[in-house]
């Protein structure tokens, strides 16, 4: 059985594509939940690039950094989801264009 080697540049190309999809989602979408998921997608693309560079340099520093980024991303998701739920309870919408509470 042959083993398929994935080159680090291939991982970086995938990371760039995933990051671009997440960035377009944040820019083009108006639903706060979708925007939060797109930010998570961007963080996962950064994690993938950390792993690619870690493999490229034969160290574990990128892998350890990914663990910290995943921890911060989980906390950010929990706080963000809590804020979105609180906004939905008061404003009855999760559309970013309809929320003007911070502008007043």
The reply to whether 25 falls in a domain is no
The reply to whether 4 falls in a domain is no
Q: What is the pLDDT of residue 35?
A: 93
Token pair in block for residue 13: 């190309």
Mean pLDDT taken over the chain: 90
Per DSSP, the residues of 31-100 read: BHHHHHHHHHHHHHHHHHHHHHHHHHHT-SHHHHHHHHHHHHHHHHHHHHHHHHHHHHHHHS--BTTT--
Q: How many domains does the chain have?
A: 1
The reply to whether 38 falls in a domain is yes
Q: What is the pLDDT of residues 48-68, one digit of tens each?
A: 999 999 989 989 999 999 999
User: CA-to-CA distance for 17 and 98, rounded, in angstroms?
Assistant: 30
The reply to whether 8 falls in a domain is no
The reply to whether 74 falls in a domain is yes
Residue 71: domain span: 30-96
The reply to whether 71 falls in a domain is yes
Given a cut of 90, is residue 5 above it in pLDDT?
no
**pTM value?**
0.85
């Amino acid at each position: 059985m042959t083993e398929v080697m994935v080159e680090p540049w291939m991982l970086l190309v995938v990371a760039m594509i995933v990051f671009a999809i997440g960035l377009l989602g944040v820019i083009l979408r108006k639903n706060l939940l979708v925007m939060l998921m797109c930010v998570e997608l961007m963080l996962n693309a950064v994690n993938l690039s950390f792993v690619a560079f870690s493999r490229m340099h034969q160290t574990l520093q990128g892998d350890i950094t990914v663990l910290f980024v995943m921890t911060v991303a989980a906390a950010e998701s929990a706080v963000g989801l809590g804020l979105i739920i609180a906004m939905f309870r008061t404003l009855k919408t999760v559309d970013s264009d309809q929320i003007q509470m911070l502008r007043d």
